Amino acid sequence: MTTKRNLFVRLVPCRCLRGEEETVTTLDYSHCSLEQVPKEIFTFEKTLEELYLDANQIEELPKQLFNCQSLHKLSLPDNDLTTLPASIANLINLRELDVSKNGIQEFPENIKNCKVLTIVEASVNPISKLPDGFSQLLNLTQLYLNDAFLEFLPANFGRLTKLQILELRENQLKMLPKTMNRLTQLERLDLGSNEFTEVPEVLEQLNGLKEFWMDGNRLTFIPGLIGSLKQLTYLDVSKNNIDTVEEGISGCESLQDLLLSSNSLQQLPESIGLLKKLTTLKIDENQLMYLPDSIGGLISIEELDCSFNEIEALPSSIGQLSNIRTFAADHNYLQQLPPEIGFWKHVTVLFLHSNKLETLPEEMGDMQKLKVINLSDNRMKNLPFSFTKLQQLTAMWLSDNQSMLSRSFNSNFAAVSSFHYGSSRDLHSSQGSLALSVADGRGSGGHVFRMPLSNGQMCQPPRPQANYSQVHHPLPQASVARHPSREQLIDYLMLKVAHQPPYIQSQCSPRQVHELAKQEGIFVTRVQPEGPASKLLQPGDKIIQANGYSFINIDHGQAVSLLKTFQNTVELIIIREVSS
């Protein structure tokens, strides 16, 4: 029987008619503002198997707790513990231990007596080292020590041969012990945000590895030995100083996701095209001047992001990426696109803004599934007439193309000009092309396009750049369903506002606060009258992105601080809820 207890004041479990005490195996005292472990727990020390004390203010654990020798799971995250008593060794049947988000500085040496432990979660603690006894937990399969102060691992760490998941993100590690080459059952290894200067050689022996994070370190190259990881499906080495990826990476024949963003790459290895199972390739924010012809070999690719580089032309072989859905090449030096791009029959989203494009190939009209395209900040005067065939096109950004016009604005703001397919007949010109329009800067611009809301979930705006730090947990899904009984539409508006004043006031009544508190995010509650945003923003608009910075999962103070740093103009993406 499981007894769920959520109130501070509780009733002692009843006894049955025969006068026997009921069997209690699980107790949950999570989120009860407890400062001590409740004494009534010990009434069930012989039968208790699972104990949850999550999110309280408990500072120490009583000795009597460790008399609960039937305990299989002990959950103590988000408390105020500073030590883990040596008497934890009495819990000889303990299989799962969670002491994350506390102030624990070390594990006791005799934790080695908890021989059946399989899962230890101790992330977000000031743990500087692990005792040698920790390496005697031979049944350990999952170990989470993210965001601690670890500088090294025990030399005999390789004894933990049953480890399948090892997360050591956000520590101060510079190397791994050689004995780790024995961890052949390891499937997930997270070494992100440490101080490694090279990929550890022991990695070559971890043949079962499927997911590997080494982002946010000090790597300068990816060695060919990485190719020995035949089962690797996910590799993240973004945010390093990598200038070379050796040809041996082609040996990662199972690789599906490759993240090389924010490095110093000037070229990709020719062997990149041999990664036949690759579905996502992110090489944005590098120094690439071209993509190799072999890129066409990525027959399974669905998302390719090469934005923020120095690419002047795309190879014709790029047309062979027949499964591509999303392509981003914004902020490069592209002057034209190869006609072969028209072979992309499944592409739905194209980001080509901030280049030097003067014309587009007629073949782009064959992209029958294209929904969103951003062509702003280029040099085009016309669009191909074939664009009239794009029946699924939902939105197009075209601002800052006829640059002489866009730079002559004298008003406080300039709205981003957009195109909705339903009005394409109005854009026909006599020259057999679509005339390019630019916003007039007088508040009438800023096309709003709509997408239906399904199941109460918020559709994502075009390419929000979210900055999530928790890579192994599901991302939060926001809901904007205030009236689930009726159909809703979400308006996405992209606009530019002059940077005067530098912030949007967010004063509101207590009732407004109550309503907005039901939703997560940064909402506009008041727009300064006669200000540069007054004609475009409305109370209730949710800000998703500003000048490329995500406003998802940040608080009001962070949002205001960020807006104050912007100069000249602020480019916003907002969500606006309207009735159908």
pLDDT band at 231 (very low <50, low <70, confident <90, very high): very high
What are 119's two structure tokens?
Answer: 């899962």
What are 311's two structure tokens?
Answer: 């690419």
For the chain, percent of residues with pLDDT exceeding 70? 72
DSSP letter for each residue of 148-185 = S------TTGGG-TT--EEE--SS------GGGGG-TT
Domain boundaries, the chain: 335-423, 449-468+482-579
What region, left, alpha or beta, does residue 347 occupy, with left being phi > 0 and alpha being psi -120 to 50 degrees?
Answer: beta
Lowest mean pLDDT across 11-15, 137-141, 205-209, 330-334: 11-15
User: Residue written as tokens 């990695």?
Assistant: 203
> How confident is the model at residue 277, as a pLDDT?
98
**Does residue 405 or residue 169 have the better pLDDT?**
169
> How confident is the model at residue 537, as a pLDDT?
75
What are 394's two structure tokens?
Answer: 């939902």
Q: Which CATH number fits domain 335-423: 3.30.1490.120, 3.80.10.10, 3.40.50.720, 3.20.20.410?
A: 3.80.10.10
**Does residue 260 or residue 541 have the better pLDDT?**
260
Question: Does residue 489 have a pLDDT over 50?
Answer: no
Judge whether 90 and 114 are in contact, CB under 8 Å. Answer: no
Q: Please, what is the average pLDDT of the chain?
A: 79
Averaged over 297-325, what is the pLDDT? 98
3-class secondary structure per residue, 302-339: CEEECCCCCCCCCCHHHHHCCCCCEEECCCCCCCCCCH
Averaged over 193-215, what is the pLDDT? 97
pLDDT band at 346 (very low <50, low <70, confident <90, very high): very high
pTM: 0.72
Calpha distance 207→229 (Å, rounded)? 5
386 — phi, psi (to 5°)? -65, -15
**Does residue 474 or residue 252 have the better pLDDT?**
252
3-class secondary structure per residue, 348-366: CEEECCCCCCCCCCHHHHH
> How confident is the model at residue 477, as a pLDDT?
34
Please name the residues in contact with 299: beta carbons below 8 A apart, sequence gap of 6 or more: 276, 320, 321, 322, 323
Give the CA dihedral 119, 124, 125, 126, nearest 10 degrees: 130
Judge whether 441 and 413 are in contact, CB under 8 Å. Answer: yes
pLDDT band at 548 (very low <50, low <70, confident <90, very high): confident
Highest mean pLDDT among 189-198, 453-462, 480-489: 189-198
DSSP letter for each residue of 62-115 = -GGGGG-TT--EEE--SS------GGGGG-TT--EEE--SS------GGGGG-T
Superfamily for domain range 449-468+482-579: PDZ domain (2.30.42.10)
Please name the residues in contact with 20: beta carbons below 8 A apart, sequence gap of 6 or more: none
Please name the residues in contact with 17: beta carbons below 8 A apart, sequence gap of 6 or more: none
DSSP symbol at 562? H
DSSP letter for each residue of 194-233 = S--SS--GGGGG-TT--EEE--SS---EE-GGGGG-TT--
> How confident is the model at residue 562, as a pLDDT?
76
> How confident is the model at residue 362, as a pLDDT?
96
Calpha distance 245→164 (Å, rounded)? 27
Angle in degrees, CA 239, 241, 243, rounded to 5: 120
pLDDT band at 555 (very low <50, low <70, confident <90, very high): confident
Give pLDDT tens digits for 398-438: 887 754 333 333 333 233 344 433 333 333 333 334 434 33
Distant-in-sequence contacts of 539-543, Cβ < 8 A, 24+ apart: 540/576, 540/577, 541/493, 541/574, 541/575, 541/576, 542/480, 542/574, 542/575, 542/576, 543/572, 543/573, 543/574
Calpha distance 496→507 (Å, rounded)? 23
What are 7's two structure tokens?
Answer: 């109130």
Distant-in-sequence contacts of 282-287, Cβ < 8 A, 24+ apart: 282/238, 282/258, 283/309, 284/308, 284/309, 284/328, 285/261, 285/309, 286/260, 286/261, 286/262
> How confident is the model at residue 560, as a pLDDT?
72
Calpha distance 364→373 (Å, rounded)? 11
The residues facing 74 across adjacent strands are 51, 97
Calpha distance 552→478 (Å, rounded)? 10
Bond before 108 cis per omega within 30 degrees: no
Averaged over 195-214, what is the pLDDT? 97
H or E, element range at 544: strand 542-546
pLDDT band at 170 (very low <50, low <70, confident <90, very high): very high
pLDDT band at 530 (very low <50, low <70, confident <90, very high): low
Give pLDDT tens digits for 101-148: 999 999 999 999 999 999 999 999 999 999 999 999 999 999 999 999
Task: Using alpha carbons, select from 165, 178, 169, 117 the residue that is nearest to residue 148.
Answer: 169
> How confident is the model at residue 533, as a pLDDT?
67
Lowest mean pLDDT across 23-27, 332-336, 532-536: 532-536
Task: Using alpha carbons, select from 158, 203, 206 the residue that is nearest to residue 184.
Answer: 206
Averaged over 437-463, what is the pLDDT? 33
Judge whether 117 and 144 are in contact, CB under 8 Å. Answer: no
CA distances to 20, 21, 25 from 4, in Å: 20, 17, 11
Please name the residues in contact with 448: beta carbons below 8 A apart, sequence gap of 6 or more: 491, 492, 493, 576
Averaged over 466-477, what is the pLDDT? 35
User: Residue written as tokens 């994070």?
Assistant: 213
> How confident is the model at residue 574, as a pLDDT?
75
